[in-house]
């Protein structure tokens, strides 16, 4: 568990993420634009409103210039009244359109975010088990949640604001030119400095915000792991260290956030300084124009407004670029997730398995989670239809890995896994998983009642049919005794049920699914004797008439099996039934003897061998 681990080297995935940043940058806009397609009408409405707003803004200096030049000397009350009404009208328009614009932008944002979230969710669900084994849950959550949120300002708010800013800039420049080109030339001195600063700033900001997003996903990942592993943390008394690590991650996040904000921070004062310089230049040039009689007072007043309207957008570009940088850093991370290909892919010509007889053949298979570290080595094993095979062996020697390979959560590196002679790489995943049922050690239940969990295996079944299945496995008495019987809420991941109860629910679920091949990774934790008996009886009934492979931790299961395979270092070292293996006096016989000698009969062979 990573919660207890200290800093570790970057995983392959993180390295890949760092390397991918550059390549993704190029195609970013091309990939982002299609996301806007479903909300294009709403975005167009927001843009149209922005355009009307810009026109309203430009009407104000015109009206003020008109009053100064035409209505003051001699005083023209009618013209002043018209100008005041016009000014009031521009503000009324601003209020009315402002609300409408927010409404359209909000609707577009909701639709866009839901679409991206669903796409990310669907993609995450399609990834292979290996991805989840390697990637911290918090990282995935951070991408699917916060990173998606950060896209919204960039995609919905930025385009209309950018358009409005560009339009204000262009209109202000045109009007300044119309009043006196020399005023525009004066201002033009400021522009190259602003543009260079903006480009440099964008580069810097994008890097900073990428770091902020990455650090945020690290502390989220730690939080998720802590929630998942809270029992262990308490048990080993690592709360203080765990908190210290969280604080360390928060510190990294804050440092990157402060660095990012500091870099962004000096951009605004810098552009403010340039605006002041622009105003000063206009006053000097315009004042000279009035003295020479080439400019009226009203025109100079208008020009001062236009200086703001010209340089204001240049300052807004800073803020817009910051949001763009932040959003594009998150977009890169989302695209990286969306670009992650499932390692296990169904062939286009994958066949639907017919109803199986139930033969399994691990044909000279080799496999390792990392290429350099083989876990299964040239293992050849056949399981006949209807046979019950128990697999035993020391911990960490590859027993559960066989289950992962049979269910095709991972693909073998060499050899092949065959069911009824079909290489499982050539068959559709759905048809394989329908006929190969799995009950794993962790006995995961989903939120809801016991009945809800049973119904997962057979969605159309009535309550009575589900309860009949529980009766058939002799689990009815135990499940009925729960506080609300079959309607008891099992809690998150089944936490309200005991280990034995959870296992029985999983057995009934597997029974309802009625697979031809059943794979069972038995729970290791001890249960009381009567539950143990009940579980063993349910297991026998569940396996009846099916091929079953049981990773056995319990004495009774091993004895009942048709054959027992002993696995050591990823290879089968002994194979036969209980009596045969005892007679061989090999590893199994040793495990058995130690187990038998051990006082507690609930102790597993692995535990016994460790004694």
Ligand X SMILES: Nc1ncnc2c1ncn2[C@@H]1O[C@H](COP(=O)(O)OP(=O)(O)OP(=O)(O)O)[C@@H](O)[C@H]1O
Residue 565 Cβ vs ligand X, minimum distance, rounded to whole Å: 12
Taking the complex as a whole, the smallest distance from the CB of residue 242 to ligand X amounts, in Å, to 23
CB of 341 to ligand X, least distance (A): 18
Whole-angstrom distance between the N-terminal and C-terminal Cα of the chain? 25
Minimum CB distance to ligand X, residue 133 (Å): 4
| Nearest residue (CB) to ligand X, 442 versus 465 | 442
Cβ at position 397, least distance to ligand X in Å: 5
Per-residue DSSP letters for 342-377?
A: PSS---TTPBPPPSP---EEEEEEEE-SBTTB-SEE
Query: For ligand X, which is the closer residue by CB, 422 or 603?
Result: 603
Compute CA distances 464 → 364, 389, 452, 460, 469, whole Å.
Answer: 45, 33, 13, 12, 9
To ligand X, the closest distance from the beta carbon of 228 in angstroms equals 16
Per-residue tokens: 368: 């390792």
Q: Using CB atoms within 10 Å of the CB of residue 397, give its burial: 0 to 12 exposed, 13 to 18 middle, 19+ buried.
A: buried
Smallest distance, ligand X to C-beta of residue 41, A: 47
For ligand X, give the closer residue by CB, 393 or 437.
393
Residue 391 β-bridge partners: 551, 565
Omega of the bond prior to 411 within 30 degrees of 0, cis?
no
Give the nearer residue to ligand X in terms of CB position, either 133 or 463: 133
Of 482 and 539, the one with the shorter C-beta distance to ligand X is 539
* Closest to ligand X by CB, 185 or 369: 369
CB of 548 to ligand X, least distance (A): 17
Strands of 414-419's sheet, edge to edge?
Answer: 376-383, 360-367, 414-419, 422-423
Residue 96 CB, shortest distance to ligand X, in Å, is 59
By C-beta, is 412 or 475 nearer to ligand X? 412
**Under DSSP, is residue 163 helix (H, G, I), strand (E, B) or coil?**
helix
- What distance in Å separates the CA atoms of residue 519 and residue 406, rounded to the nearest whole number? 9
CA-based nearest residue to 32, from 154, 176, 130: 154
Q: Residue 539 CB, nearest distance to ligand X (Å)? A: 18
| Dist. CA 393–CA 558, nearest whole Å | 12
Query: Between 30 and 370, whose beta carbon lies closer to ligand X?
Result: 370
Q: How far is the CB of 236 from ligand X (least distance, A)?
A: 19
Query: Binding residues for ligand X, per CB under 6 A?
Result: 133, 369, 375, 393, 395-401
510 and 466 in contact (C-beta within 8 Å)? Answer: no
Shortest Cβ 248–ligand X spacing (Å): 26
Cβ distance to ligand X smaller for residue 253 or 410 = 410
Of the candidates 438, 440, 461, the residue with the CA atom closest to the CA atom of residue 451: 461
CB of 596 to ligand X, least distance (A): 20
| Listed residue (379, 407, 385) closest to 566, CA to CA | 379
Residue 179 is classified by DSSP as H
d(CA 225, CA 330): 22
- DSSP-assigned letter for residue 398: S
User: What torsion do the CA atoms of 295, 298, 299, 305 make, to the nearest 10 degrees?
Assistant: 140
> Toward ligand X, which CB reaches closer, 397 or 546?
397
Q: Are 142 and 221 in contact (CB under 8 A)?
A: yes
What is the smallest separation between the CB atom of 156 and ligand X, expressed in angstroms?
Answer: 40
For residues 190-227, one letter each, b for 16 or more C-beta atoms within 10 angstroms of the residue's C-beta and e for the rest, the string is: bbeebeebbeebbebbbbbbbbbbbbbbbbbbbbbbbe
Using CA atoms, how far residue 156 sits from 42, 101, 241, 495, in Å, is 9, 11, 42, 42
Residue 517 contacts residue 407 (beta carbons within 8 Å): no
User: Which is nearer to ligand X, 45 or 391 (by Cβ)?
Assistant: 391
- Which CB atom, from 534 or from 554, has the smaller least distance to ligand X? 554
Q: Which is nearer to ligand X, 39 or 375 (CB)?
A: 375
Would you say 53 or 404 has its CB closer to ligand X?
404
Q: Which residues contact 23 (CB under 8 A, 6 or more apart)?
A: none
Q: What angle separates helix 77-126 from helix 297-339, to the nearest 10 degrees?
A: 10
d(CA 506, CA 520): 10
């Amino acid at each position: 568990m990573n919660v207890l681990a200290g800093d570790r080297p970057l995983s392959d995935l993180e390295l890949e993420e760092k390397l991918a940043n550059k390549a993704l940058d190029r195609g970013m806009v091309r990939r982002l634009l299609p996301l806007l397609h479903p909300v294009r009408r709403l975005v167009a409405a927001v843009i149209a409103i922005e355009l009307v707003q810009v026109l309203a803004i430009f009407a104000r200096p015109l009206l003020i210039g008109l009053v100064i030049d035409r209505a003051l000397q001699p005083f023209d009350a009618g013209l002043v009244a018209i100008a005041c009404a016009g000014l009031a009208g521009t503000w009324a328009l601003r209020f009315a359109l402002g609300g409408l614009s927010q409404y359209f932008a909000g609707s577009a944002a909701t639709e866009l975010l839901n679409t991206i979230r669903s796409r990310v969710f669907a993609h995450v669900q399609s990834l292979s088990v290996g991805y989840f084994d390697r990637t911290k849950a918090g990282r995935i959550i951070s991408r699917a949640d916060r990173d998606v949120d950060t896209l919204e300002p960039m995609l919905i708010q930025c385009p209309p604001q950018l358009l409005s800013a560009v339009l204000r800039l262009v209109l202000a420049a045109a009007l300044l030119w119309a009043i006196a080109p020399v005023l525009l030339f004066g201002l033009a001195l400021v522009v190259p400095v602003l543009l260079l600063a903006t480009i440099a700033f964008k580069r810097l900001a994008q890097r900073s915000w990428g770091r902020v997003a990455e650090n945020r996903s690290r502390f989220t990942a730690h939080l998720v792991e802590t929630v998942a592993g809270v029992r262990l943390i308490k048990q080993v008394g690592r709360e203080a260290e765990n908190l210290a690590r969280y604080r360390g991650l928060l510190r990294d996040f804050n440092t990157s956030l402060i660095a990012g904000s500091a870099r962004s921070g000096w951009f605004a004062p810098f552009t403010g300084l340039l605006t002041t310089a622009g105003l000063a230049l206009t006053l000097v040039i315009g004042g000279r124009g009035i003295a020479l009689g080439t400019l009226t007072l009203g025109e100079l007043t208008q020009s001062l407004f236009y200086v703001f309207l010209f340089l204001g957008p240049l300052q807004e570009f800073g803020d817009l670029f910051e949001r763009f940088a932040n959003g594009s850093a998150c977009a890169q991370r989302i695209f990286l997730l969306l670009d992650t290909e499932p390692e296990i892919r169904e062939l286009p010509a994958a066949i639907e398995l017919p109803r199986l007889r139930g033969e399994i053949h691990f044909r000279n298979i080799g496999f390792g989670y990392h290429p350099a570290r083989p876990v299964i080595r040239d293992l050849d094993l056949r399981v006949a239809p209807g046979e019950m095979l128990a697999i035993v062996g020391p911990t960490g020697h590859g027993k559960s890995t066989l289950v992962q390979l049979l269910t095709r959560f991972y693909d073998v590196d060499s050899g092949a896994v065959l069911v009824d002679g079909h290489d499982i790489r050539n068959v559709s995943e759905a048809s394989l998983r329908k006929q190969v049922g799995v009950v794993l050690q962790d006995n995961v239940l989903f939120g809801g009642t016991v009945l809800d969990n049973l119904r997962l295996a057979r969605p159309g079944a009535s309550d009575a049919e589900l309860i009949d299945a529980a009766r058939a496995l002799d689990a009815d008495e135990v499940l009925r005794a729960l506080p609300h019987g079959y309607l008891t809420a099992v809690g998150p991941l089944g936490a309200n049920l005991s280990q034995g109860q959870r296992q029985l629910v999983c057995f009934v679920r597997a029974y309802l699914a009625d697979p031809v091949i059943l794979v069972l990774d038995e729970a290791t934790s001890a249960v009381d004797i009567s539950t143990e008996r009940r579980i063993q009886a349910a297991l026998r009934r569940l396996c009846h008439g099916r091929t079953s492979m049981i990773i056995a931790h319990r004495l009774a299961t091993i004895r009942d099996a048709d054959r027992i395979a002993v696995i050591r270092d990823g290879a089968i070292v002994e194979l036969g039934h209980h009596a045969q293996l005892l007679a061989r006096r090999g590893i199994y016989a040793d495990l058995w003897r130690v187990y038998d000698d051990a006082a507690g009969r609930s102790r597993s062979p692995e535990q016994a061998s460790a004694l």
